[in-house]
Chains A and B, each alone.
Chain A
Amino acid sequence: MKNTASTIKWILLGVGGLVLLAYPLVAPNRYTVHIVNMAGIWILMSLGLNLAMGYCGQINLALGAFWGVGAYTAALLSTRFGVPIWINMPLGMLLAGITGALIALPMLKVRSHYLALVTIGLAETINIIMVNEIWLTEGPLGISGIPMPNLFGIPIDGAERFYYIVLVCVVVGFLVARQIVSHRIGRSFIAIRDDDTAAKAMGVNVAYYQVLANAICGVYCGVAGVLYAHMSTYISPDIFEFKNALFVLTMTMVGGMGSLAGSVVGGLALPLAQEWLRAIKSWQLVGFGLAIMIVVLFMPGGVVGLTQKIEQAGGIRLPWARKPAAEPSRMEEPNVS
């Protein structure tokens, strides 16, 4: 039984890998490749959010800020100094990671919905800086003419070629996230999420790991930002507004909070669903909102949680089964005097 399961797993991985590698060659047109590239960028952010929120329990709605820091780093360095992507990437990661760590500082003090607000407030403030510091960011007009990358003399000048850069980043990002989760860091995250007082009593340095979780989230969003800047060749502050942070939150929850596979599923499903729904114009977002409600009310564990339920009900183990995540912490019933 175990052997069959692992054989199926390897076959699935092999087929999946081939499909991923061949995708741009068989895709119907460049636009569909672009959508998938964009999905890759969303997946990276969703992975970061999942590590901070799904594993470490840190409510963080400041993703737009991290993403923006990464994107602006790449945009400014490449347009003003002609710095190539492979130098922008580590710098963007570093700066976005530092932003993540800084945003984590209030988290040591405030909690739950207060924290949600503080992170929104900080993200809004960074967005306002992007709009107003025109000398640096060109203001609301945004920065255009960001060069597409050139790797080892090969110009990456179209969505099809850029696809492979995104693919490498997503695969590496996913594997690193998996390492983090199975490492002591990941176990400390989960301990903090489940009960930070108990974790502290067990000798876990809670503050350190909270800052670390958000810094890691920042790094993932930084990668997404650098990729985005070089892919779209144009950025402006409105892209990094709160609504896109919410989009990432939604895809993470639809996929499954506390599951890395969930981030991939959600990060692919939502942008694609959005494209399919584009045909019905204004009703698109109504449908989007209804879909969110349905997920929240009927499958709170997300798509991954649903497969887990199927496994439990049927007593089977699906090849892509994951370790069960603990219940998310509940908010206390308000008891008003």
Chain B
Amino acid sequence: MQSRFPGRLLPYLLLSPSVVIVIVFLIIPSIQSLYYSFFRVSPFGDRLVYVAFDNFIKLLNPDYLNSFIVTLVFTGAIVVIGLAVCLALALVANQKVAGIGLYRTALIWPYALSPAVAGTIWALVFDPSTGAFSYFISLVSGTMPNWRTNGTFAVVVITLAAMWKMVGYNVIFFLAGLQTIPRELIEASEIDGAGALTRFLKITFPLLSPMTLFLLIMNTLYGFFQVFGLIDVMTEGGPARATEVLVYKLYYDGFISLKTGYASAQSIVLFVFVAGLTLLQFRFAKRWVFYQ
């Protein structure tokens, strides 16, 4: 139990800046998004026509469904492949060998790179005519698909760039999680003669599961929301909408085509999605704090 200060007004004064900002810039605009999703709004926002669920029904068209599938595939790859690779890396970096501190630093620095920077650099290394990776691939395979015209390959390149940027973040958290596992537990099982694989499956992985769930949620949110810069820099959603993820489509419909109502309906879909993930987070991993 915390010792307390008396004071009636002070706690309100202390909380008011945070609460005012959340209400003005987060809660009210979100409610407005919901409101707009039932209207057709003229491009300058001066006329509203009530259209009931029309904006939501329009979500069933092929363009939006395409965005939905692209987002799921892209995010699924980041979560499954990205997390598996990063966990393997963290397990190796958790070994006690000489110079391990230096190794860890050399692994986590991509955390500081932005999606836009990652996108530009990967656009260079995969540049069809001059890129280093394009060159390596054509050395090995003899041909080089062009991701600027080949949609499937564009998704692959975007996914690689996005995963690469998250390595630092994932390794930091996996390492932090691994360091909470009691040494005695590992040593006891070694004495009992458990092999490395058994140890990993029976001890390390279960004890790491809250961290894995946390990273799963953070990487899903990253795949859904934070790759806008990467995609805008690399493909602008193309070629032929192959990389048009949900956030890109929302931006395009809301700010380029100026279809406010339709974009708002898309916001609501994203909200349902985030709300679900957040509840999952609070339900299963109460002790982990969110990091943006």
- Does B bind A? no
- Point out residues on B near A: beta carbons under 8 Å: none
